[in-house]
Amino acid sequence: MKLSRLGEFGLIDRIRRKAAPGRGVRLGIGDDAAWVEHPRGSSLITADLLIEGIHFDLHWTSLADLGYKSLAVNLSDIAAMGGIPAYVMLSLGIPANFDSGQVDEMYRGINRLARKHRVSLIGGDTNIADALLISVCVIGNPINQPIRRSGAQAGDDIYVTGTLGDAALGLELLRQKRPRQGRAVSQLLQRHHRPTPRLAAGALLAKRELATAMIDISDGLIQDLGHICTASHVGALIHQEKLPLSGAYRALAGKAIMRFALSGGEDYELLFCATPRHRKRIEKLGKLAGVRISRIGVCMPTTHGIQVLDAHGAPVALKAQGHDHFKKH
């Protein structure tokens, strides 16, 4: 069967079946990061392969931003397990016509974020290639039990950190190629180019054992909520008017105001579930972590599926959306 027909999830499922967890694997393919044992202790491990022309376009992404983001998306996976990132392996395919200043620029972006989170670059592999390739593997330490996608129960509240849709709207502005200026535009572009991995919030949720399930939003709220629902065997009810939107987003989203917030990719916000008993503790946690945390819905029995209600209580039609290329497993 052609991969284009088998599709992203078909392929991942196929790989998962072929990679039966071996000894020491507490959590293999199918969450934000793997969780594996050592002789003493355990690690979280995640990897991403970014390919020029598929994942990024050097026409509108600087190499410094690209370096920053390629690390950020992996730190976000560690955040989504409630872990602390420690080390990064970076393998590069570099076009032969690059000069050393360009490589330096990419490392400047990587190092900036690495220093901020005390992550050490420990090695990798560097090659020539036709297109720029960036392969990142991050190793981190779990806090208590890593927070999986699979622990949510019907009745749990559903939360997100930060605001939704900014990065996707920023990318849309770039794609329109109409030069636009102003503070709101800058804010959205910044959200697209330099996403913030929510490490403090993730770590506090794990430390205080408050979340029953967690994922980072890379493919859009609805799609990533779907992963939690599938893994946890629950449905979900989302109140559209509770989705956190930034001022910049409200100013520039235009007619399709909910489109990117519901289905736009690359927010890298945390989506998590928690029992209603913990509402006050989660409110406090947001302040401590320095990030807005919004309660946007509730987990339902699995038969309910995923439903989004508008401000009048009417169901919102959800188109199948999200990223098309094969994704992380």
Largest CA distance in the chain: 58
Ramachandran class of 199: left when φ > 0, alpha when ψ lies in -120 to 50, beta otherwise? alpha
| Residue 60 vs 107, nearer CB to its own copies | 107
As measured in angstroms, the least distance from the Cβ of 237 to its own copies is 31
Count of alpha carbons within 13 angstroms of residue 267, beta-carbon side: 31
Neighbours of 36 (CB within 10 A): 18
| Residue 90 vs 298, nearer CB to its own copies | 90
| Residue 93 vs 235, nearer CB to its own copies | 93
Q: CB-based burial of residue 308 (10 Å sphere; 0-12 exposed, 13-18 middle, 19+ buried)?
A: buried
As measured in angstroms, the least distance from the Cβ of 230 to its own copies is 17
Neighbours of 15 (CB within 10 A): 13
Residues 236 and 154: beta-carbon distance below 8 Å: no
| Residue 128 vs 288, nearer CB to its own copies | 128
As measured in angstroms, the least distance from the Cβ of 162 to its own copies is 24
88: Cβ–Cβ under 8 A, 6 or more apart, which residues?
71, 74, 110, 114, 119, 120, 121, 122, 136, 137, 138, 139
Please give the residues from 267 up to 326 whose contact with its own copies meets the rule CB under 8 A.
325-326
Please give the residues from 201 up to 240 whose contact with its own copies meets the rule CB under 8 A.
none
Residues 271 and 215: beta-carbon distance below 8 Å: yes
Q: Which stretch binds its own copies (CB under 8 A): 3-11, 228-236, 277-285, 290-298?
A: 3-11
Could you say which of 58, 61, 62, 87 contacts its own copies (CB under 8 A)? 87
For residue 237, what is the DSSP state?
A: E
Interface map 95-114 toward its own copies (x if CB under 8 A): -xxxxxx-xx--x---x--x
As measured in angstroms, the least distance from the Cβ of 17 to its own copies is 10
- 92: contact with its own copies by CB under 8 A: yes
As measured in angstroms, the least distance from the Cβ of 241 to its own copies is 35
Please give the residues from 111 up to 150 whose contact with its own copies meets the rule CB under 8 A.
111, 114, 118-131, 133, 135, 137, 139, 141
As measured in angstroms, the least distance from the Cβ of 23 to its own copies is 7
